[in-house]
């Protein structure tokens, strides 16, 4: 039985690959896509999600827009990595995939209520929509199988010494989700920086030879160029699809169960994930924290999915 999933995303180059992996792998069923302000403002991330599905020829998956702003803060889009429209690089086509008139919380609620199986939520951006959903619809908690989130880090950050972007944009939302008691996997920078877009990776995706791979290569070239400038990393980390890879095949990462606190107040550390890897605090674990990635298997999953698309 395929695992039913909803992706809550802020596309974003790596979010696009998360969408394609879910759309192209038969082990998961992509029930819906919701969007959040993050890498770009909501109008961009929503259009980009629709473009990602349009390019790949994915039809019948509803796309609904959620929050433009974090719960309590102002959004700073990641233009230095993703460009002004959050999807720099290729010429973007007009999306033919429509925008669902429902909001993100409403769409998630409807999909959870309609699914015979509990649904896996896969957020690949700030957790604003997921936190809002949990606040508004506590009655539907039992319909969530688990949450697999890209965000945080067991070590250093990418928007400051400690915070990772998705956690830093909306730490109050992350705090709410980490305190929710729901089964939660954290895919942080410590593991996503193992998914490096090497020249060999780009060439192997190019060799697939379909429209999706051609568009994907343009995305990856821009993404690597931006990472080179911003972080001196010409082989950029393709963070977000690791979440979907876990839903497909848990063996793609190893995890450690531990307690994670979200720093919402720190003078130098706001948005940091304080991961108690060695159980120094003796607190109840609240997350499976991904540690290692089976890199060849991960890229194999990405390539196989892209090859099934348009």
Residues that are catalytic: 239
Binding site for ligand BDR (CB under 6 A): 12, 14-15, 39, 78, 81, 124-125, 150, 158, 164-166, 239-240
The least CB distance from residue 149 to ligand BDR, in Å, is 9
Binding positions for Ca ion, 147-176, rule CB under 5 A: none
Instruction: Answer whether 226's CB lies under 8 Å from 282's CB.
Output: no
Identity of the residue, 62 or 163, whose beta carbon is nearer to ligand BDR in the bound complex? 163
Q: Which is nearer to ligand BDR, 109 or 184 (CB)?
A: 184
164 interface partner picked from Ca ion, ligand BDR, none, CB below 5 to 8 A per type: ligand BDR
For the bound state, the minimum distance from the C-beta of residue 14 to ligand BDR, rounded and expressed in Å, comes to 5
Tell me whether residue 182 or residue 242 sits nearer to ligand BDR (CB atom).
242
Radius of gyration for the chain, computed over Cα atoms and rounded to the nearest angstrom: 17
- Which of 4, 8, 12, 154 is close enough to bind Ca ion by CB under 5 A? 12
The reply to whether 89 sits near Ca ion by the rule CB under 5 A is: no
Nearest distance in Å: CB 81, ligand BDR: 5
Q: Confirm or reject binding of residue 263 to Ca ion (CB under 5 A).
A: no
Query: Residue 39 Cβ, how far from ligand BDR at the closest point, in Å?
Result: 5
| Interacting residue with Ca ion among 24, 70, 125, 271 (CB under 5 A) | 125
Residue 1 Cβ vs ligand BDR, minimum distance, rounded to whole Å: 28
Asked if 124 interacts with Ca ion (CB under 5 A), we say: yes
In the complex with ligand BDR, the residue whose CB is nearer, 80 or 268, is: 80
Exposed, middle or buried: residue 156 (CB in 10 Å: 0-12, 13-18, 19+)?
middle
Q: Which does 269 bind (CB under 5 to 8 A by kind): Ca ion, ligand BDR, none?
A: none
């Amino acid at each position: 039985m395929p695992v039913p999933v909803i992706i809550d995303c802020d596309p974003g180059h790596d979010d696009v690959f998360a969408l394609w992996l879910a759309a192209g792998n038969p082990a998961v069923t992509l029930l819906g896509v919701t969007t959040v302000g993050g890498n770009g403002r909501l109008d961009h991330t929503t259009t980009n999600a629709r473009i990602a599905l349009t390019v790949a020829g994915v039809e019948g998956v509803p796309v609904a827009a959620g929050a433009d702003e974090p719960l309590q803060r102002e959004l700073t889009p990641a233009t230095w990595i993703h460009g002004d429209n959050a999807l720099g690089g290729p010429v973007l086509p007009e999306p033919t995939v429509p925008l669902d008139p429902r909001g993100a919380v409403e769409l998630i609620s409807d999909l959870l209520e309609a699914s015979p199986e509990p649904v896996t939520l896969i957020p690949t951006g700030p957790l604003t929509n997921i936190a809002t959903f949990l606040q508004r619809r506590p009655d539907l908690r039992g319909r969530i199988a688990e949450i697999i989130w890209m965000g945080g880090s067991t070590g250093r950050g990418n928007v400051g010494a400690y915070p990772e972007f998705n956690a830093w944009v909306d730490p109050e939302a992350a705090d709410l989700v980490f305190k929710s008691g729901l089964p939660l996997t954290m895919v942080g920078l410590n593991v996503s920086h193992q998914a490096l877009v090497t020249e060999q990776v780009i060439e192997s995706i190019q060799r697939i030879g379909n429209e999706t791979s051609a568009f994907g290569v343009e995305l990856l070239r821009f993404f690597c160029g931006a990472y080179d400038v911003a972080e001196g990393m010409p082989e950029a980390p393709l963070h977000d699809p690791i979440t979907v890879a876990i839903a497909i095949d848990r063996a793609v990462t190893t995890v450690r169960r531990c307690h994670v606190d979200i720093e919402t107040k720190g003078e130098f550390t706001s948005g940091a994930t304080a991961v108690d890897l060695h159980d120094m605090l003796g607190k109840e674990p609240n997350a499976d924290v991904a540690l290692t990635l089976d890199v060849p298997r991960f890229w194999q999953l990405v390539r196989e999915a892209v090859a099934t698309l348009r």
